[in-house]
Amino acid sequence: MIPALPVPVAALRNARLADGTVADVRLDGPLVVAVEPPGTTAHGAGLELDLDGFVLLTAPAEPHAHLDKALTFDEIAPPLGDLPSAIASFHTYAITADEHDIADRARRTLGRMLANGVTAVRTHVNFSPGPDALAGYRALATVRREFAGLVDLQIVTLPAEDTPDDVHEDAFALGADLVGGAPHLWPDPIAGTDHLLDLAEALGVGADLHADESLDGPVTLARFAERARGWSVGRSAGHCVRLGMLPEDELAVLVDAVRAADIGIIGLPITNLYLQGWEQPVATPRGLTAFRALIDAGVRVAAGADNVRDPFNPLGRCDPLETAMLLVAAGHLSPAEALHLVGDGARDVLGLPAAGPRTGAVADLLAVRAETATEAIAFASADRFVLHAGRLVAASVLDSRVAEPVRDVVLTATDPGAA
């Protein structure tokens, strides 16, 4: 029986933690105040959940979404293809998309993410190519207000090369948090990178750039690292596919520069795997960033899904456990590393306070029905409880039945199944 939500939670009992131990987790308001052996937490006032059979994780954050584009795939029916073809398909659609349409799709996508355990999202937002350039920003500001207290939503600008600076600045008046952009797609990628970083510095805000989303294009990340050294505001770069293709010696120099500038790198496996490599039908490259080199060098790394059911990615479950699965299967990370990138690592890159089942951390938590953390990634059960700042904000209870197989059937020589 799921109570009316949201509801404050006082304790989580018998939860299996990622390291395999079983514990009771006591909450006080938005914080975890104790992680104790099972049965030792005193019963107090407030809701308690018995998490026997569940693994308890830090609630995932989605560090790179496009809520203004999500759920348009079926309506646009674009040809399957690479990044330029997806951009062209969406551009035609975006001319006529209005604020209410954008808000409706963003709302439905965010609801799915929340049900799966996501309590923080950073979305990039396009300037509309139609007459109402700021429709997406007003839509996302509305959706952010609606989800206040349920999901922390950050908004990043995504200007085109010809977006006027005054229009770009208007997005901040409507609530944008960070300067973004994809200067690797512009005619002069380095000048474009400088232009965006100049604007961030002038506004006194951070930057989260789409960087080097191609297998053999420019490397704007080096310029970003050079410019951001010494910054105190947020700085991160998404995609960085080009890093995965660089020769080892060049990659080592770039990774050093990224670490020195403390730029967080956001890898986006499902969308990168879908969009990259169409021109190479044989020995198709994976199109992922250099996860191993970045992690081993101590760079802050996060992972997300990027697009969901739009011309840039026809699929996607709004589920960070899908991203974690791809980090293991296609990125060759360990299951623990994969969970870190979609959980604690993503929160760190987004500049959010530490969360998870640890004393003193914010009680943003995801309980998934599973025996182990690796099984949680593998089966990604829909049976989940989601807490944001100590309140239960989503719960899904799966009712699934499978007919029992008949055991110990004795086969005779006349049975077609007999060997």
Number of chain residues interacting with Zn ion (CB under 5 A): 1
Site string for Zn ion, 253-292 (x = CB under 5 A): ----------------------------------------
CA dist., res. 235 & res. 349, Å (int):
8
Binding mask 306-345 for Zn ion (x = CB under 5 A): x---------------------------------------
Residue 211 makes CB contacts below 8 A (sequence gap 6+) with 184, 220, 221, 224, 237, 238, 239, 240, 242
Nearest residue relative to Zn ion (C-beta): 306
Kindly tell me which of 58 and 128 has the beta carbon lying closer to Zn ion: 128
Which positions from 92 through 121 interact with Zn ion, judged by CB under 5 A? none
Binding to Zn ion (CB under 5 A) within 163-202 occurs at none
Least distance in angstroms from the C-beta of 66 to Zn ion: 6
Rounded to whole angstroms, how far apart are CA atoms 125 and 139? 10
> At its nearest, how many Å lie between Zn ion and the CB of residue 315?
16
Q: Which is nearer to Zn ion, 306 or 322 (CB)?
A: 306
CB of 110 to Zn ion, least distance (A): 16
Kindly identify the residues of this chain, within the stretch 293-312, that bind Zn ion according to CB under 5 A.
306
Smallest gap from Cβ 268 to Zn ion, in A, equals 7
CB of 69 or CB of 144, closer to Zn ion? 69
- Return the number of the residue (41 or 157) whose C-beta is nearest Zn ion: 157
Of residues 124, 72, 136, 126, the one with CA closest to residue 99: 136
Q: Closest CB to Zn ion among 239 and 384? A: 239
Q: Which is nearer to Zn ion, 138 or 210 (CB)?
A: 210
Rounded least distance, CB 399 to Zn ion, Å:
36
Task: In angstroms, give the least distance from the CB of 163 to Zn ion.
Answer: 16
Residue whose CB is less far from Zn ion, 306 or 364: 306
CA quadruple 398, 399, 400, 405: dihedral positive or negative? Answer: positive
Q: How far is the CB of 397 from Zn ion (least distance, A)?
A: 33
Applying CB under 5 A, which residues contact Zn ion? Answer: 306
